[in-house]
A and B are shown apart, each in its own frame.
Chain A
């Protein structure tokens, strides 16, 4: 396949967003200058961070229109990350399901094994151009930590990664990968000792070391400009996929699906299609042991609007406003908030968000492995499960395009332990 790396910012047409909406919405017009996606987003941070965020916003808005920066980013994406990633028709899986064709956008084939590198390559170039010698990152599954350590090594930047003590235990291989890449991994023992606490701790580091430090947030959450910047860097996924669909199939898919934790791979796939009113969009959240059990991480499907980690969005919290502990078999989806753009898309009726349980994700993982020879990440297995559900209900000439956001090598130990196998 030979698809050009499409321009950094695609232009979308004004279209009816959705049959249920009477007005015309240009989804490319969000966020506004304050980083708001309708009622969501914004900059809910302590005063000390307002100046560094303003500095970052100013630098990023300048760079995103700078031809030199765009050219450097495109070169890195092509020669270092290995873009474009293919779209792949999973024929045996589709046959097995017996419905529509299931296509995968193969982000698992990127350098470091997931979509996360799209964002870290971009943010590291911003850090370099802002003259910051030290980068920090938070990580859940470790994929963003590895992707951050990778770009730091390549650019000769010092890298510190904050990771919850619970996640360090369940993602040992990624912890070691980060160390091999020269990063320092700091265990976080406060709160629930998972991704949300790692984000708190990284924010505390940033507020203390703002002069020389660039904070690479790994998802489309956090204060403005992060939801915008991380979305822009991941939107390459959808821009490529849209062009590939038109070139190879002469049409757009009927439905898109992707897993949603913070939501960066999902918004990456969805964004280029938001103004394509005929393309249905479904996000798969982690329903854990089932939403009714309370042991899940489905912020959009089961949460409520609130303020967490610098933005207004859907959160999982109790009646006192305390953020509740989440559960998912996949560390990368184990987060009690979600990117504000997803909250906006949910309320606008442009995207639906549904829960996929641990068991359903595991079943999809095995089915994909046996029918297609692909070990998907546990996070991505949620999207695969949702793609299967969608395809089953659709005619054979339909197309489901699913973001296979990462590969499953990192999860082999977790899966073995769950199934009682000693590796």
Chain B
């Protein structure tokens, strides 16, 4: 059983909804990245999504675009990201880590090399936004090494294709709550609930919902029907500009604590 599977099994046993924060690796501060990851766990994160900066993040809104640009300016690449995961693992062997990003950095790093280094560092899964199921043959070395491929499902996904995604999902299926980019729009909870209920009935994995969740109220609304909620842009925005570990920790706690409380009260 993988670390991701174990974590979702534990959540289910406890009757809790998972909290998955997303942060862009290297933002707001490369030096304090490991401290930030521990702060996320201390504030109630069940799984961490670590964004690998990319120069052309087509699926992301302005908040994550700018975080990516800041990290790239500071020289952050896959080598740094993997070193932070390895450092994090020295103190935390339980919290699953999923790298989220785009295909080109992995392609240029080399699929086999990336797979070996990511597993050695303690990465559990990868979510490559621009690598749909149809193109995922290139990711075979990652699967062979034991990395789980997290798939996206979207409101535009047709039923037949959804069945295919449900059958191929590993770890968890990430349902994108609306057709758009990260950090945008208003949630239409009713539509999402119906779709997620349908997916949960067919998927062999838990279902996490992301895009557009930005506070305790929206997280709680989604928690009514999802196994986990993903919060990215709102958190990244909140952390922007923080310069030392203490400030980062304070901001993480202030942002995530009410969300954790709301999820647990559900």
Give A residues with C-beta under 8 Å from B.
34, 42-52, 54, 190-191, 196-197, 200, 203-204, 207-208, 210, 304-310, 315, 317, 319-323
CB distance from A393 to the nearest CB of B (A): 37
Known contacts A48-B154, A203-B58, A306-B104: A321-B132 contact under CB 8 Å = no
Subset of 27 A-B contacts with CB under 8 Å: A34-B134, A44-B131, A44-B132, A46-B58, A46-B132, A46-B154, A46-B176, A47-B152, A47-B153, A48-B154, A50-B161, A54-B158, A191-B56, A196-B56, A197-B56, A204-B58, A204-B59, A207-B181, A210-B156, A210-B179, A305-B107, A307-B103, A308-B56, A320-B105, A321-B106, A321-B109, A323-B104
What A residues does B146 contact at CB under 8 A? none
* Complex contact A48–B56 (CB within 8 A): no
* Complex contact B55–A50 (CB within 8 A): no
What A residues does B102 contact at CB under 8 A? 307
For the complex with contacts A46-B154, A321-B104, 20 further pairs of A-B residues with Cβ separation under 8 Å are A46-B129, A46-B130, A48-B180, A50-B161, A191-B55, A196-B56, A200-B58, A203-B58, A204-B59, A208-B179, A208-B180, A208-B184, A304-B108, A306-B107, A310-B58, A319-B77, A320-B78, A321-B107, A322-B72, A322-B105
* Complex contact A48–B179 (CB within 8 A): yes
Q: Which residue of B lies closest to A51 (CB)?
A: B156
Contact of B176 among A47, A317, A321 (CB under 8 A): A47
In the complex the two chains form, what is the Cα distance from A321 to B54 in whole Å?
8
* Complex contact B180–A207 (CB within 8 A): yes
Known contacts A190-B65, A306-B104, A323-B55: A45-B132 contact under CB 8 Å = yes
Choose among A34, A48, A196 the residue with the greatest number of B CB atoms under 10 Å from its CB. A48
Majority secondary structure of chain A interface residues (helix, strand, loop or mixed): mixed
What A residues does B179 contact at CB under 8 A? 48, 207-208, 210
What B residues does A45 contact at CB under 8 A? 58, 130, 132
Q: Which residue of B lies closest to A197 (CB)?
A: B56
CB distance from B51 to the nearest CB of A (A): 14
In the complex the two chains form, what is the Cα distance from A273 to B131 in whole Å?
34
What B residues does A49 contact at CB under 8 A? 156
What B residues does A309 contact at CB under 8 A? 56, 58
Q: Is B141 an interface residue (CB 8 A)?
A: no
What A residues does B65 contact at CB under 8 A? 190-191
Known contacts A48-B179, A190-B65: A317-B108 contact under CB 8 Å = yes
Contact of A48 among B66, B151, B155 (CB under 8 A): B155
What A residues does B55 contact at CB under 8 A? 191, 317, 322-323
* Complex contact B105–A321 (CB within 8 A): yes
Q: Is B61 an interface residue (CB 8 A)?
A: yes
* Complex contact B132–A50 (CB within 8 A): yes
Contact of A191 among B61, B69, B79 (CB under 8 A): B69
CB distance from A200 to the nearest CB of B (A): 5
CB distance from B152 to the nearest CB of A (A): 4
In the complex the two chains form, what is the Cα distance from A21 to B32 in whole Å?
55
Residues 166 to 207 of chain B near chain A (Cβ within 8 Å):
176, 179-181, 184-185
What A residues does B135 contact at CB under 8 A? 42-44
What B residues does A52 contact at CB under 8 A? 156
Q: Is B157 an interface residue (CB 8 A)?
A: yes
What B residues does A323 contact at CB under 8 A? 55-56, 104
Q: Is B241 an interface residue (CB 8 A)?
A: no
Task: Return the 8 tightest CB-CB contacts between A and B, nearest first.
Answer: A320-B77, A321-B105, A321-B108, A47-B152, A48-B154, A51-B156, A208-B180, A322-B55
* Complex contact B103–A190 (CB within 8 A): no
In the complex the two chains form, what is the Cα distance from A196 to B54 in whole Å?
13
* Complex contact B132–A43 (CB within 8 A): yes
CB distance from B236 to the nearest CB of A (A): 15
Choose among A210, A304, A321 the residue with the greatest number of B CB atoms under 10 Å from its CB. A321
CB distance from A328 to the nearest CB of B (A): 18
CB distance from B63 to the nearest CB of A (A): 12
Choose among B65, B129, B135 the residue with the greatest number of A CB atoms under 10 Å from its CB. B135
CB distance from B76 to the nearest CB of A (A): 8
In the complex the two chains form, what is the Cα distance from A42 to B151 in whole Å?
18
CB distance from B68 to the nearest CB of A (A): 9
* Complex contact B58–A51 (CB within 8 A): no
